[in-house]
Every structure is written in C-alpha cells, then in structure tokens.
Structure 1
Amino acid sequence: MDKTLSLLGWSVSALLMTLSTSASADFLADSSATLGLRNFYFNNDYRDQPGGGGQSKTEEWGQGFMLKYSSGFTEGTVGFGVDALGLLGITLDSGGGRHLGSSMIPNDGEGAVDQWARLGLTAKMRFAKTEARYGSVSPKLPILQTNDGRLLPQTFEGAMLTSNDIDNLTINAGRLEHATGRGSSDRTALAVGGGSQASNEFLFAGADYKIGKGVTLQYYVANLEDYYTQNFVGVQHLWTLGESQSFKTDLRYFDSRSSGANGNAAGRSEGYRVGGYSHDSTGEIDNRTWSALFTYSLGGHAVTAGYQSVSSGSNFVQLNQGSLADKGSGGSSIYLFTDRILASFNRAGERTWFGQYAYDFSALGVPGLTASMVYLKGDNIQTTAGSSQSEWERDLSLDYVIQSGTLKGLGVGLRSGEFHSQADANQDQTRIIVSYNLALF
C-alpha cells in the first residue's frame, strides 16, 4: 500500500511542479484539488443461483481514495490546462469464498487483491465557450453513462468536445478507445454484453437544446465499431404549477441496429455478437426502446410513474466490457429509467411498469435527509429458454449528508434491493456507503 500511495503522490506532485514553472496566474489561481473518501460495504445474496458451487453470496468491504486535480486555463485566445485523477482501493474484508462474482474488487487469480490503483491524466483546451479534452474522461450522456456504483468509478480514454457557444444549445462529440472498469486497474478495449471481440472505436455526437424555461430537446448518435449504431431522441419538460409544486415529463427513444462485423454471420461467429436472446439466435443487434416518466412534486414529496417497452429483436445495448478477458472490466450503466440496483429491465421484448415515491426531509426541518422506494414489474421477456417470462424489483434508498459542523459534507447512504425473476436468479442486495470530500485547495 505504501508503494502505491507513494506512486500516486509522486505522479501528482511531479505534474504540479512541472505546471507551476510554466503556467500563468489564471492557470494556478483557478486550479482546485479534492480528496474523496468512500467506504463501501457490498452484500449480494443469491442463494438459489444455478451452478453457484455452494456459494450463497458475494460479500466485501473496501475503502476508496479519489484524488482529483483540475487546473485553470492559460491566458490567451486559446487556453490550455490539465486534470489528474488518482484512484486507490483497499480491501478491508473479502475472501472465505465471498469474493467469487465480485464486481467491486479485482481478482489476482487466487482471490481478492489487497489494493489496486490507477492514474488518469487529461489534457484540456478552451476556445471561447468550447472545451476539448483528451485522456481520461467520464461521459454522462444518453448514449454513454460512466458507472460509479461501486468503490471506484469506471473511466474511459479518448477525446471529448463540449461547446456552449450558442445560447441554450450544448453540443457534445467524441471518440473513445479504451475503458477501465470499476473493479480493475487495467484498461481494456470496448464491447457490448456478450461480445467476446474487442472494438477500439466509439464515436458519438449530439446536442441538448433548451426551448424557453421548461423544455429540453435531445438528439445523439453513436457508433461502436463492428457492433452497433444507436440514435437517441429525448424530450424533457418541467411544468411549474406553483410554489413548491411541479410536474415533470421525460420521454426517451433509442434505435439500435447492427454495424460492421455484427451485421454479418461471419463477424458474429468470430464473437462480434450480443448476449442473451436475439431473433433466430443470430446474436445480431436489432432493438428499439422507448420509455416515458412522469413525476409530480409537492413540497418534499415526489411521486413518479413510468413505462418502458423494449423491442424483441435483441436486448437493449450500450457499452459493456464484461464479456472480455478482464473480468474486472464488467459493470456498466445505461441511460434507462429502469437501470436500478439489481436489474436493468432491458431484455428483448420486455415491457416494464414502474413507480417511485421519494421524500426530502428538509420539508420537515431535517435538511440533508432523503429517502425513496421504487417498484418495477417487467413481463413479456424473450429468452433463449422461452418467451413471456417476468421479473420484478423493489428498492429502498436512504441518504443523509451532515449539513454543518466539523463533519459537514459527510454522507451516509443505504441501498437495499430485492429481485425476483423467471429469467435470472433471485437476489437480495445491500450496500452501505460512507463518503466525504475534502477540499485541498
């Protein structure tokens, strides 16, 4: 552990010393650094999972450190800067047959590693209100959601451009080549769930356009080389009904079709295929998914209802490297309302109804305390073993962030999920997360 900490510290220190000799005042004056601490307990109970080899659960506990540095930009028409991200994970408890199936801590061939780390550097450039980045990036876009659901976050490598030069319009574009999973120190190429062949190029572009105060229109297109092309259209509307009262509508539509090697039998036979059910068991990506969410908020209360429909050609897809050789590269997020603690409800043919109730206790004079409960029911699932299967999930979340005093900003979160499915193993999952961000400068 000491060697890893020293390596991270030396790398960041060397970077700062190099920059300080040549950077302008704005470059240094606008820089910032934070140290994020995350303590994570994870328990996934799957007693009835077929072929479990007698293991009844995955249970682990770890401590994560996330050191983030962000510089300002040099003076001039075109400004330059750099960001750095140092990540360190330490295993506090694992082993005893409880590491198998882990999605949080890397495996060294014999079990959970004691510690793991990685360093990400990002060069950045700014012109007017347009910013370009190259290096380690963490997209949060409809066509790609960086996963941060375990001890350390997933990261990607490539180039991204974001422009806000036109009022009310945000344009995003980029090209990604590699990913590093949340439970790994090693980068991999890119793929989809079930794909055993790697792709080295993910291209995307799109825009968010605000109309007036309450409406946002979105369009994005993405292509994962030799796997799929995906188009996304979204509409969001917030209707303010009065003081502390609103109604939100969020509509989303995805069109995903095969591209390159996935579009022909020869390519699919080599491993450029999607997992799960597909039409005629070809492994070809062919999916249309649409969903609608409606949320009514009054004071601290928020009631949500929604529906999602996945077409039956194949499962819904976005980047997921879990089928590649490095098992630590698994774990992904997708831009669906149904992407929850245990399941994503994105199987071929699946139709899902869901409802959620959330409460912000600041309305009762307890700021920082929030709670929510969600229930999802999916049916008409198409699988290789049969059709019209169903599943449901119930999740509870409770979060509290201390608002003042010495421990201001310290957060404690509880996640509890129960999942029953005819298409997968029944599971119960519990997560306890304690987090704190310390501003260094």
Structure 2
Amino acid sequence: MSNVIRDVHAPVALPILQLFAWVGLGLCSTASWAEGFVEDSHGTLTLRNYYMDRDYKDGGAKTAAREWAQGIFMNVESGFTPGTVGFGLDARGLLGIKLDSSPDRSGTELLPVSSSDKRAADEYSRLGLTGKLRIAQTTVKTGDVSIFLPFAFASPSRLLPQTFRGTTLSSKDIEGLTLNTGYIDRIARRDSTDYQPMAIASPNRRFNGAATTSHMAYVGGDYQVNKDLGLRVYHAEVADLYQQNTFALLHNMPLGGGVLTTDLRSFFSDDDGAAKAGKVDNRNVSALVGYRFGGHRVSLGYMHSSGDTATPYVSGTELMGLSEMTMSSDFLNAKERTWQAIHDYDFAAVGVPGLRTRLRYVRGDHIELAALNAEDRKEREFQMELGYVIQSGPLKNVGLLARKSIYRNDFPGTAAFRDENQTRFLVTYSVPIW
C-alpha cells in the first residue's frame, strides 16, 4: 500500500482581518474591481530535484542518511483591487515525491518519516492560502506566510520551503525604512504537511525541546541610511520560551579598486514568561569583514557566544548569525567561539556568467555541552560549493548546485551533531506560468 501523507490547511491567526480580505475579494466580481486583482496577478512553477547524503564517520549504529526526492511548488499571487484599500489573495501549493529512500537511511528531512517503521512517505503535499490588503506602501498578509528575518529565517535548505501560520505587516511608507511586525502561532516544517506549535531548537539537549509556545510576536525594521550603510533592529518574543533582541550593521566602503564590506550582528536572548524551555541566557555577537574585487570575495569572521546557555532559535528555522547556511552544525552552542574564512568567486568576471564557487572553513571551540557533561569541546566544518545557472538554449535558467561538507567534532557519542561527510546535489527550474 502506498504510504501517502497529504493534508490541506489554510487557518488564520486573525479572523477579522481575513474577513475583510474575503469581503474585498467578493467585490472583485465586477470588472472595475477585478482590474488590478486579475491583471496584476502572476504565477510561478518551481521544480526542485534534491539528493542528500550524510555519510557518518563516528562509528555509530546508523551509518548514513541518504535520500532523493522531487519537489514541485506553485505560487500564485493576485494583484490588488483598486482603491485606497486594495485586497488580494495568494495561493501556494507544495508537493514532495520520494524517488529513493529506505528505513535504514531515512531522516534527511527531505521527506516525512513514520516514527514506527522509519519509512519515508511516498509523497506529501500542502496548500496554503494567504489573504492580503494594501494601503499605500503598507501590506498586511494573513494565513500562510513566509518570514525571512534575522531571528527566524524560513529555512530554504530542504526540498520544500518552510512557512508559518499567522499575520504579518510590512511597511515602506518612510523612505529608506522597512518596518515589520507580526503574530505567528504555528509553523509548517519543511518536511511536514500541517501546521504545528512552535518549539525551541534543542540539539545536544540545550533546552527543553518538547515545550511549545502559543505564539511568536515581533516588531522591528531595516533602515538604509545611505547606499552603503544599513541598520537592523528587531525584538521578538516567543511566548513562555524566550525573547530576543537583534541588532545589526552592514556597511560597504570602496577601497583600492574593490569594496570592503563589514557585517556586524548581535542577538541578546533571555527566557520569557513561564520559561517552559528552561533557562535562556545568551549573548551572541559576531563580525564578518570581507573584500570584494573582480570576481573574488574574501571574508574573515568571528562569533562570540557568552552567557549560561546556547543561542536560542525557533526549531525548523535558521538564525541569521555568522554561521547561517552551514551544513552539518549550527555553531550556536553555549560559550562557543567561532572563526570562519570564506572565498567566493563569480566566474562572470572571466566571461562565464552563471558559474560560481565557494570555499568555507568554520571552526568553533571552548564549547560547553552542559546536558552531556562536556566542556571545552571543538568542532570544525570545511564546505565546498559549486553552482551554475544555464544561460541559453532549451535548458536556459536551469540551476545546478553541488555542496559538500566535511565535519568533525570531539563531542560525546550521544551528541546531535555527528562526524560526517555530507553531499547535496540540487537541480532547480522556475518558470512563469502566466
């Protein structure tokens, strides 16, 4: 019998706002109201073929997690009805299909896995609907939403995109300033078919990962002081788990025929309310300095974690710290000191547009794993990446990406992050459907 997981959801955090949206959409029955709603609508079909291989090197019972899957997602976005207040509707359909997996090597998070027999689903799907309204340069969305903010970045690192259920507001009415606020009550994980309560990420048993929150609320913004200087300030509360303040500065400065880039980020975190996840006490500050010249970009960075606990973030998302987009670990353990060096190259500089490479080395030490009774531990990851987007011919705009990481640590055998050689291959293609 086919093992199929399928669900369709479109719940809403604030029903009153959704009611306004549906009323507005109902008015679209007349040609005049439908003008902007229909004429400004567009849709995109995206195909993502994904192979992931985690080859464990630590002698554990499970030697590999290795799966291959096909993702299909369609995004349809309407325009807005005419008038001072414009209404619209977006729809997102997601489908994941298993191409290869087995119980002894499932668990890459490309596919949902049965807790009883460890078998991955043959397919899984999700439909998300989003009502929206716009006043001047302010847009409110409610229903299935995506957020890409420093404290909760919707993870793009698996087969299907991860989304949330809630209401968000984004305003650009003040020149140079983007204000964001929102109320999120559920998360749709990247390998899930439905919305679930949010929890705190807890690898290495940092916190009580079983504790959940009723909602996350946030407010903040990004301010572009000028073309070379940007500031970012946010406050987020994950009810009864933790609260977090984020500050960042991004600066570019022409220097000697190239550009010197500075990226300063900080996260200040404490427990919130009933503190159901346990104590949270962390200060995470980082600096990444780079130099861009020709097709090259060379960067050096340092991240310092202090306080009694690891850096918290919502399980299933990524934190936009110094270690974002690492493959095998998050480098956010308690007391961790992290260094990294990166070399990026864009081959457009030598007449090969679409081809790019990355070499990255990340090393963390002084790590404390309190739940595992381990101190002064180390981890390191060497990452290689090669990407190409075909520029012409019948396969134009097909993207090819190969990523490889070699990760090692001296953690206890029960740790979440294991010594591994990890490989990922992705083929992606997006095409407008109207």
The question of a shared fold, defined as TM-score above 0.5 by the shorter chain, is answered with yes
Q: Are positions 1:256 and 2:242 aligned together?
A: no
Q: Does 1:306 align with 2:301?
A: yes
Structure 2: 5+ residue runs without aligned partners?
10-21, 203-208, 412-416
1:56 equivalent in structure 2 = 63
**Counterpart check, 1:402 vs 2:390:** yes
Amino acid at match of 2:109: S
Give runs of ≥4 in structure 1 deviating > 3 Å: 17-23
Other structure's SS at 1:260 match: coil
Out of 332, 339, 343, which is 2:317 matched to?
332
2:251 corresponds to 1:237: yes
Alignment-derived partner of residue 433 in structure 1: 426
1:240: Cα distance to partner?
Answer: 2.4
- Aligned partners of 1:67, 1:364: CA distance in 2, in Å? 35
RMSD between superposed Cα atoms in Å: 2.1
Q: Is the 8 A contact 1:43 1:60 kept in 2?
A: yes
Q: 1:49 to 1:147 in 2, by over 3 A?
A: farther
Equivalent residue, structure 2, for 1:324: none
Aligned partner of residue 212 in structure 2, secondary structure: coil
Distance 2:71 2:366 in 1: 40
Residue 142 of structure 2 aligns with which residue?
134
For residues 135-180 of structure 1, the C-alpha deviation after alignment (integer angstroms, 9 at most, x for no partner) is: 1111111121000101111110101000000011110000000001
Matched-pair contact (CA < 8 Å) for 1:312–1:350: no
Equivalent residues of 2:251, 2:262 under 8 A apart: yes
Is the contact between residue 200 and residue 211 of structure 2 (CA under 8 Å) also seen in structure 1?
A: no
* Higher mean C-alpha deviation, range 103-112 or range 175-184: 103-112
Q: Secondary structure of the equivalent of 1:183? A: coil
How far did residue 254 of structure 1 move? 0.8
Question: Which amino acid counterpart does residue 335 of structure 1 have in structure 2?
Answer: M
How far residue 49 of structure 1 moved from its aligned partner, in angstroms, is: 5.4
Q: Quote the sequence identity (%).
A: 38
Q: Is the 8 A contact 1:49 1:426 kept in 2?
A: no
Aligned equivalents of 1:249 and 1:145: distance in 2?
21
Matched, 1:81 2:68: no
- Give the Å deviation of 1:319: 0.6
State the 1:307 CA deviation.
0.2
Structural mapping, 1:366-405, within 5 Å? 366-384=352-370, 385-405=373-393
Residues 185-238 of structure 1: per-residue CA shift (max 9 Å, x gap): 121011102321221210000011111221111110000000111011111101
Q: Give the alignment of 1:292-303 within 5 angstroms.
A: 292-303=287-298
Q: How many residues align?
A: 400
Is residue 68 from structure 1 mapped to residue 68 from structure 2 by the alignment? no
Which residue number corresponds to residue 161 of structure 1?
Answer: 169
Within a 5 Å distance, the mapping from 1:93-172 to structure 2 comes to: 93-95=100-102, 97-99=104-106, 101-108=107-114, 109-110=116-117, 111-172=119-180
Task: List runs of 5+ in structure 1 lacking aligned partners.
Answer: 9-14, 263-271, 274-282, 321-330
Task: Report whether the alignment pairs 1:365 with 2:358.
Answer: no
1:79-106 deviation line (CA, Å, top 9, x unaligned): 000111000000000015111x331110
Aligned counterparts, 1:349-364, within 5 A: 349-364=335-350
8 Å CA contact 2:89–2:131 kept in 1: the answer is yes
Task: Choose the corresponding residue for 1:200, options 214, 220, 224.
Answer: 214
Contact kept, 8 Å, 2:96 with 2:160, in 1: the verdict is: yes
